Structure formats: C-alpha cells, structure tokens
Structure 1
Amino acid sequence: MNNEIVIYCDSSCDLTVQEYKDFNIKLIPLITTVKGKDYFDRVELQPSEFYEMLKEDGVVPKTTMINPQRFIEEFKEDMENQKKIIFLSISSGISSSYNSAEVAKEMTEYEDLHVIDTIGASVGAGLLLRKAVEMRDNNNTVEEIIDEITFMKNKMEYLFCPGSLEMLKRGGRISSTKAAIGTILSIKPICHFDKGYIKMFSKIRGEKALIKFYIKFLEDNGYNPNYRFAIGHANNMKLVNALKEAIKEHFGIDNIIVGEIGAVIGSHTGEGTITLCFVGK
C-alpha cells in the first residue's frame, strides 16, 4: 500500500461503514435532515432506518451540502502530515459539495489535494472508489489513479429507476403532472447521468419491463468486461436478485457488487429505487 496517498469520499458512494473501514477510506458523511433533525449519512442514519422513516406521513427529507470550512477541517491532519489526498465527490451536477471542496483547496493552497468530480453517485461512484483503493494498495501513483478514475467516470453508465415519482418531482426532475399521471398508470422513468446531470431517457411499466430494458441496453450498447458491475437498491433485494439472475443468464456475469442506497440519494429517489452501473465500451 502507498501510505502517502489518502483517499476520501462523501457518503454518496453508498458503501457500508464497515467497507469504508476495511478499505481504509476516510468518509466525509453528507447530511440528511428528517423531521427537523440532522443526521450524518451512514454514520448516524443507516439506510434501513431511513426507509422506515419515509413510511411516516408527512416526512419530507432534505439534504445539505458540505461547506468549504468543513472540508478544510476534515483534510487538516493529512495536509499537516504532507499526505497526497484524493477526494471523490458526488456529481457537481446534483450537488454543490464538489465546488465546496474546490474552494477549500483554493483556500488552503494545498497542492496535493486532488478533488475528483465523479459526475455520478451511488454504487457507480462506489466502483470508482473501489478502483482507487485497489490502485493505491498496488502502489500506483496519484497520477496513475487519477488517470484511471477519469477514464472510468467518463465511460460509466448509470441506469436507474426511481422508487418514488413524488420525490423525483420535489427534486425538480419531473413535473407535477408527469408525476401524477405516472403514479396513476404505474409508469416510471428510466434515468441516467448525462455529463453529471440526471436525465430521463425512457419509461417502463412494471418490474419485468425494467429488467428487460436493462438487458436490452446491455445488448445494444455493450460493456467493458475488464470492470465489475454494481447494482444499487433502496430496500428492494427481491428485484436485485431478479436482475442479477437475468444478467448472469444473458451475459454469464455473476460477480456483481450490490450496495444499499443511503439516505442522501434515497431522499431524492425514494424507497424501491434500483440502479445498474457499469463501465461502457
């Protein structure tokens, strides 16, 4: 392991607290506010607890970005020890945290702080994080890690179907009319990240149609076999297992990472969300 390199990320990468510890990653948890109380994502509020809270009437969670001063405090010890810092941030297209980290870098004038905009989130960003850890442990340089993560993030495909149209509407992703009609007809959008921004590019009705869409997308667009797949879910393991089985049946892939979507991402997509992430061709 290259002990000179320290890897940080925010909690949008959707690894478990134990995984962050096992991989020697320094977690900067994002904040979710539920019923007026602030929680550090993953540290004070686990996904299962969060989705139970959502079942209560009138619960409208909110998320808060990390300000520059907090970043400075988080990085302070490693900067004093002259470490090479790599920070992987939630997409700048959906959060201001990346810009805050850049401001923190400017304020400290610390040259060995490398802020990476994942232009994604959840388990897709988690794949980037795992690769960075693997390369650090193989004694790769900071430059080599950044080059590889940059390649991966620009090729990463994020396909996700939100569990709640209401939450998607609150986030300004769809109109109230579309949310109402979609709920009545059980129609849900398929979304993806496009240059760091969430865009809708298809619609489906029902879980079987969702799996068929994911499989056809893989068939039509291909994937890079040198990288792993990841499935993220918001309290929806039944659908995860069905999707994993379909991918194994069609492509012979069964080494798939499964992660639970935490409160920060879940605040905007809702319970039941399912996402498939992989590096495209």
Structure 2
Amino acid sequence: MRIITNPGSNVSRRALQHYGIELSPQQIVVDGVSHDTREEVSIKDIDRWVWTAKEFPHVVGTTAQEFVSMFASASTKDPEIVVLLTSKKIIQTYAAATAAARTLQSRAATRHAQISIVDSGVTDAAVGLLAIAAGELARAGIPLRTVERALEMLASRLLCVFSPGGFEHLVKGGRASWLRARVATMLNLRALVGFSDGETSAFGTIRASEGARGAVTALANQFKTSFNRGRKVWVAIMHTGGDTVEHAHALLGELSDSLSVTYTYVRPLSPSIYLHLGPGTIGAAVVPVDDLPCELPTPPPLA
C-alpha cells in the first residue's frame, strides 16, 4: 500500500522515511516566485517573506495533473493507494486528487489502481497523526477499505485547536477580518482557533495579558472537556520555536496528566500553516484511537 499526503500534514522526515510516505507538491508563492514546501522552509523564511513581500504570500496546493503523475507512478509499485489530505474546505488539493483519480480510472493502463482519498477535515500535525496511523495500518497488512474506514473514523473524532500569538497573519491571510482583530486587540484578547466541520472557527478568547501560560491552560481545557480519561488518545502538539517550545511541552504535560495518552507527536508548525497563524502560536490535536474496525499499533517516536 502506498501513502500520499500533502506538506500541510506536517509529516516529519523520519515518518516519511519510516513508512515510505510520499509528499505531493505544494507551493508558497511570494510576489510571483514559487517555493516548494516539500523542501526545507524555515519560520525565519516565512517571517522574511511576510515582512518584505509586496503582497501577502499565498499557498497553492497540488494540481490534478501533478496528482495524476504521482498516482500513476505509485500504482506501478502497488495498486493500493491511500491519499490523506488536509481539509478540503481550506485548500483545493482534495478536489484535485479526486479529479486525478477519475482520470486514472478512465485509462486502461492505470485502471487497476485502487485509490482511497480521505479528507481529514483538519490541518498540520493533526493530519500527521492520521498519516502515521495509515502507515502503521499499512505495515500491519490491513486491507485498503478497512484502512479507509479507520482513517475516516479517526478524522471524524479529531479535535484540533490553536492559539495564535496575534492577529496580524490571520488578517493578512484572510482568515480573520481587520475589524474583528482590531476589536480583539483593543479588548486585550487572544484567540483560540480550531476546526469545525472542516472549516476554521473561533473556539473562544482569553486575555492576552495571561500570556502563553494562559493559552496553554485554555487549550488544555478545550481537550479535557471534550474527551474523557477512559479513552485512549494520540496527541499532536504544535509550536513556532523559541519560547513556544517550552509552552508546547507544558501543554503536553497537562494533557498527559488528564487524558489516557498513548502516543505523542510534537512538531513545529508546517510552513503553510505558520504563514496564516504567525509567531507565538501553539496548538494541539487529540484523537481517540479505540473502537476502530482494526487494531491500531502504537508507532515509534517519529517527530
């Protein structure tokens, strides 16, 4: 079984190599110049682009033609292909993948390919958890359709919430209105932003004066009230380097103390997500891994 995902899923190099996961092309376009996010793009690079670009940089997902090439190549190695993607409501990659799959089915040479495309409904390391799950299930020899059902169940359970350090990137990237950001700044508020039905949504606010520690507590409370301790869960923690690394581990500690955590995955934000959330962001994703149609093995450390 071959596994394909887009760079916004924040799959680590170790995980890519361990499971043989392939990354589809994705670009950050800065004043007409495209930068492939499959390569190393640092937070400093993003900051420099945001501050110096004439227009706010934007993300271009994988095209249908690029997926056609990837699927055709993958099918020569294994006819079973799992494609796990970030939310179809925030980037066009899912639509491109489904169009590409139809193209392969229309061609005699590639009609043998069995392509399962899963919309995660979330982004960043939350999707990375699902990619790791797909890798474990593939290594265990689980049939494609069972893997698909398991991933869809996991995606439906995922809760992913961030606390950006400010509003500037959200406004410039079109994820929040200038007026809303202005009011929040005047009221000294810091946002909690997550995913609901595949779209970004406000999950509340905290006093900005509470700082990162307040964000850690607010994020932890979101998950504590959403999941009971009796369920086994995997946890992904996301940070933006610097002081947020310490805050990320503090958040992980709070979640580990209150939930039955069986696997953890701590990552810096992926370039495309950092572009929209900006400096000072911390976030987490939690997914229950029990009651699946097959047993899900616990992965090795892969962050």
Same fold (TM over 0.5): yes
Separation of aligned partners in 2, 1:133 and 1:254 = 17
In the superposition, relative to structure 1, how do residues 250 and 78 fare at CA in structure 2: closer, same or farther (>3 Å)?
Answer: closer
- Matched residue type, 1:160: F
| 1:95 lines up with 2:70 in the alignment | no
Separation of aligned partners in 2, 1:18 and 1:248 = 23
Q: Indicate the residue corresponding to 1:159 in structure 2.
A: 161
Which of 202, 208, 220 is the equivalent residue of 2:213? 208
Which of 227, 233, 237 is the equivalent residue of 2:239? 233
CA-CA distance at 1:15 after TM superposition:
1.9
| Structure 1 gap segments, 5+ residues each | none
Which of 127, 141, 144 is the equivalent residue of 1:142? 144
In the superposition, relative to structure 1, how do residues 163 and 29 fare at CA in structure 2: closer, same or farther (>3 Å)?
Answer: farther
Aligned to 2:116, the other structure's residue is in SS state strand
| 1:84 lines up with 2:92 in the alignment | no
- Matched residue type, 2:194: H
In the superposition, relative to structure 1, how do residues 185 and 36 fare at CA in structure 2: closer, same or farther (>3 Å)?
Answer: farther
Aligned to 2:29, the other structure's residue is in SS state strand
| 1:260 lines up with 2:262 in the alignment | no
CA-CA distance at 1:52 after TM superposition:
4.7
Aligned to 2:225, the other structure's residue is in SS state helix
CA-CA distance at 1:48 after TM superposition:
3.7
Q: Indicate the residue corresponding to 1:25 in structure 2.
A: 21
What is the percentage of aligned positions where both structures have the same residue? 20
Aligned to 1:46, the other structure's residue is in SS state coil
CA-CA distance at 1:251 after TM superposition:
4.3
Of 266-275 and 126-135, deviating more is: 266-275
| Structure 2 gap segments, 5+ residues each | 106-110, 291-303
Which of 239, 246, 254 is the equivalent residue of 2:254? 246
CA-CA distance at 1:215 after TM superposition:
2.5
Aligned to 1:66, the other structure's residue is in SS state coil
CA-CA distance at 1:32 after TM superposition:
0.9
Correspondences of 1:174-193 after superposition (within 5 Å): 174-193=176-195
Separation of aligned partners in 1, 2:145 and 2:256 = 35
Separation of aligned partners in 2, 1:95 and 1:163 = 23
TM-score, length-normalised on structure 2? 0.83
In the superposition, relative to structure 1, how do residues 194 and 275 fare at CA in structure 2: closer, same or farther (>3 Å)?
Answer: same
Separation of aligned partners in 2, 1:259 and 1:15 = 9
Aligned to 2:232, the other structure's residue is in SS state coil
Aligned to 1:71, the other structure's residue is in SS state helix
What is the CA deviation profile of residues 88-117 of structure 1, one whole-angstrom value per residue up to 9, with x for unaligned ones?
A: 111111011100111111122145111111
Separation of aligned partners in 2, 1:197 and 1:82 = 33
Separation of aligned partners in 2, 1:252 and 1:6 = 31
Separation of aligned partners in 1, 2:19 and 2:240 = 23
Q: Indicate the residue corresponding to 1:12 in structure 2.
A: 8
Separation of aligned partners in 2, 1:154 and 1:254 = 19
Separation of aligned partners in 1, 2:157 and 2:34 = 35
Which of 279, 290, 295 is the equivalent residue of 1:271? 279
In the superposition, relative to structure 1, how do residues 247 and 82 fare at CA in structure 2: closer, same or farther (>3 Å)?
Answer: closer
Separation of aligned partners in 1, 2:203 and 2:47 = 30
- Matched residue type, 2:276: H
In the superposition, relative to structure 1, how do residues 251 and 145 fare at CA in structure 2: closer, same or farther (>3 Å)?
Answer: closer
| 1:63 lines up with 2:63 in the alignment | no
Equivalent residues of 2:239, 2:281 under 8 A apart: yes
Of 47-56 and 263-272, deviating more is: 47-56
Equivalent residues of 1:16, 1:42 under 8 A apart: no
CA-CA distance at 1:133 after TM superposition:
0.4
Equivalent residues of 2:233, 2:259 under 8 A apart: no
CA-CA distance at 1:164 after TM superposition:
3.9
CA-CA distance at 1:190 after TM superposition:
0.8
Separation of aligned partners in 2, 1:197 and 1:166 = 20
Correspondences of 1:216-227 after superposition (within 5 Å): 216-223=221-228, 225-227=231-233
Aligned to 1:228, the other structure's residue is in SS state strand
In the superposition, relative to structure 1, how do residues 218 and 263 fare at CA in structure 2: closer, same or farther (>3 Å)?
Answer: closer
Which of 23, 30, 36 is the equivalent residue of 1:34? 30
Equivalent residues of 2:85, 2:120 under 8 A apart: yes
Q: Indicate the residue corresponding to 1:53 in structure 2.
A: 48
- Matched residue type, 1:8: I
Aligned to 1:133, the other structure's residue is in SS state helix
